[in-house]
Structure 1
Amino acid sequence: MSKRTFDLLCSGFGLLLLSPVFLTVMIWVRLDSPGPVFFRQVRVGRHGKPFRIHKFRTMRVDAERAGRLTVGVDKRVTRAGLFLRKYKLDELPQLIDVLLGKMSIVGPRPEVQEFIDCYPPDVREMVLSVRPGITDWASIEMVDENQLLAGYQDPRQAYIDVVLPIKQRFYLDYVEQQSLVTDIRIIFATVLKVLSR
């Protein structure tokens, strides 16, 4: 089975199976704070092509004015957003992006251009040779990234100097060793990580 076929089956089945969850979350987000249900942001996709990622909105509508990184206990996060972020439910709308062919279920997480520009050229070329994913080993290992960044005076620089190199190592390993078996292992590891929280 090809990776794209696997993605189509998983995203289609996931959207169908989780439709009651989608509806519940959409109502909750709408009632919890003013603003749209979905958060859309331009990320860098395969071969450097930009696309708009879908997430459930977890912050106030003006949140990006204060920066793109979430650090520690961020007051911009809504009450619903705290729960959605903890259990990664805010990522579920990316199943739409997988269905549209912009993303894969498993792959390197898509970054904004600001941080892609910080990648060494050879690393950037390899990471962007595959579709970005909803989950990967880096997402599992760095699940509390915002707490890590809270320990630094300059969270943005810490993200560039400390977090990005760790993520890049995971990304490169995935690109070099990707397989359907690896994808299934990462999906199960992601579910177990979320449930353990």
Structure 2
Amino acid sequence: MIRKNQKLINLFNVLSDAVLVFAAYFAALTVRFEVLNGKESILPLHSGAYVAVAACYSVLLVVAYLCFRMYGSYRFKEPGDEIVTILLINGVGVLALMALLYFTRIVDFPRLAVFLFWMFSSLFVIGKRTAVRLVLRHYRKLGYNQKHVILVGSGHFARQYAQDLQASPHLGFMLDGYVSGEEERGLGVHLGGYGDLEKILEERDPDELVVALEPQEIEHMPSVLVAADKEGVRISIIPFYNDYFPSHPTIDAVGKTKLVNIRATPLDNLGWAVVKRGMDIVGALVLIVLTSPLMLAAAIGVKLSSPGPILFKQDRVGRDKRAFKMWKFRSMRVTGTEDTGWSTKNDPRKTRFGSFIRKFSIDELPQFFNVLAGQMSLVGPRPEVPFHVNHFKEEIPLYLVRQQVRPGITGWAQVHGLRGDTSIEERVKYDIWYIENWSLRLDITILLRTLFGGMMNAEV
């Protein structure tokens, strides 16, 4: 039943997206000419030819959504990632449409109308998908639109999976029971042993089979796969080395050998790496312009507060363990201990003006130039001095995984209060999570959280 429901939902999404994009064309014209100008368009934009172009554009945009796998189950899709994808696809689509109109000279389409078309088409599609998601989650919590699952195994990860399903009713998974050699408490209905699996699948016809065998039970895997394939049941596997997996592993093949890359990151994708770098360059340029008066005032204040240079340049370790000079406004007196010493709350080296600019993170502003130089990113793990990197890599597991991406001015750890003299172990946990779960939406979220509250330092 769930398979039929999913097909209907997919068909509804395809048709409704096309209709909404088509409707956005007329909404944009109505607002541009009748609402803002108070008159009808003098252009033949409501004629049959232009309506046909709008209809073709709507179909092509839906095809683009299909190429980016925007149709399917909502269960595992993050709404923020979906929104960003829609905005990007619609933006590229509108730019392509503008280029076509410009080179063909078919009509001088007003730029404001083009912007309104992009805005309305994005809002309509995002609003519809958000509503569908909320409705589905509501009915799944009530027990409808359930995906029936049978679990194979009764060990640690089998119990963990059952607990995760119970804690996430909005995902809409119904655990019908489990198959294992022995009956275990807390897993629900024991359907039988491994030898009974084929009969159980034939009788119950579940939507999915989830296999969570322990290492000592791996001998049952071939028969489990044969039974699932024979009954045409979809199968998912929870590996017994699950704890070592990142959120988004990649799999390569060398002949018949499959290689699971457990240190692959979303930024290994060239397209997303280019997008992030582009955001860094544009963002840094804009922020340099906006903060230039503040940086000038800070430079004067540093110069007057104590003898020494305005900028403090310190060796830090960046991506791929490459050292670079990170720039900050100097907030401490020159003592010669800058290369190894962390500052503390009552550090005697700090000047009064230095404490002020550190409290409001003004001392970090020159790092926008590090971003332009490609040494840093706006968002990423904070870079450490070589002394601490050499020390921590020996004591803290996964510490050097942080060096797979550019270090950032702000980061996931920083917006959670892990700044200054705080637990490095906790920082690493947050940094690794950020690297494995990176998305454009996450970067934007971190930047907004930094802007609205993440720039204040409790200890200065």
Instruction: Say whether residues 1:138 and 2:408 are aligned partners.
Output: no
* 1:34 matched residue in structure 2: 307
* 1:179 matched residue in structure 2: 439
Instruction: Say whether residues 1:119 and 2:393 are aligned partners.
Output: yes
1:64-100 per-residue CA deviation (whole Å, 9 max, x = no partner) reads 2695111221111011111111011111100000000
1:23-73 per-residue CA deviation (whole Å, 9 max, x = no partner) reads 111011101111100000000000000000000000001162695111221
- Cα gap change, 1:51 to 1:141, in 2 (>3 Å): same
Distance 1:19 1:95 in 2: 11
Instruction: Say whether residues 1:109 and 2:369 are aligned partners.
Output: no
- Cα gap change, 1:66 to 1:96, in 2 (>3 Å): closer
| Greater Cα shift, 186-195 or 45-54 | 186-195
* 2:448 matched residue in structure 1: 188
Question: Partner letter of residue 188 of structure 1?
Answer: L
Q: Is the 8 A contact 2:318 2:324 kept in 1?
A: yes
Deviation at 1:177, TM superposition (A): 0.8
Other structure's SS at 2:348 match:
coil
Larger relative contact order (Cα-Cα within 8 Å, sequence gap ≥ 6):
1
Question: Partner letter of residue 175 of structure 1?
Answer: I
Q: Is the 8 A contact 2:316 2:384 kept in 1?
A: yes
Q: Is the 8 A contact 2:361 2:455 kept in 1?
A: no
Q: Is the 8 A contact 2:340 2:385 kept in 1?
A: no
* 1:70 matched residue in structure 2: 343
* 1:159 matched residue in structure 2: none
Distance 1:15 1:38 in 2: 16
With the length of structure 2 as denominator, give the TM-score of the two structures: 0.38
- Structure 2's unaligned 5+ residue stretches are 1-273
Of 85, 96, 106, the residue aligned with 2:369 is 96
Question: Partner letter of residue 445 of structure 2?
Answer: R
Q: Is the 8 A contact 1:88 1:194 kept in 2?
A: no
Distance 2:374 2:285 in 1: 12
Deviation at 1:126, TM superposition (A): 2.1
Instruction: Say whether residues 1:2 and 2:275 are aligned partners.
Output: yes
Other structure's SS at 2:328 match:
strand
Distance 2:418 2:377 in 1: 19
Q: Is the 8 A contact 1:63 1:76 kept in 2?
A: no
With the length of structure 1 as denominator, give the TM-score of the two structures: 0.85
* 2:43 matched residue in structure 1: none
Other structure's SS at 1:42 match:
strand
Q: Is the 8 A contact 2:418 2:427 kept in 1?
A: no
- Cα gap change, 1:72 to 1:63, in 2 (>3 Å): farther
- Cα gap change, 1:27 to 1:52, in 2 (>3 Å): same
Instruction: Say whether residues 1:25 and 2:298 are aligned partners.
Output: yes
Distance 2:416 2:306 in 1: 31
**Count of matched residue positions in the alignment of Structure 1 and Structure 2:** 182
Other structure's SS at 1:52 match:
strand
Other structure's SS at 1:2 match:
helix
- Structure 1's unaligned 5+ residue stretches are 149-162
Distance 1:124 1:143 in 2: 16
Instruction: Say whether residues 1:11 and 2:11 are aligned partners.
Output: no
Question: Partner letter of residue 382 of structure 2?
Answer: R
Other structure's SS at 1:14 match:
helix
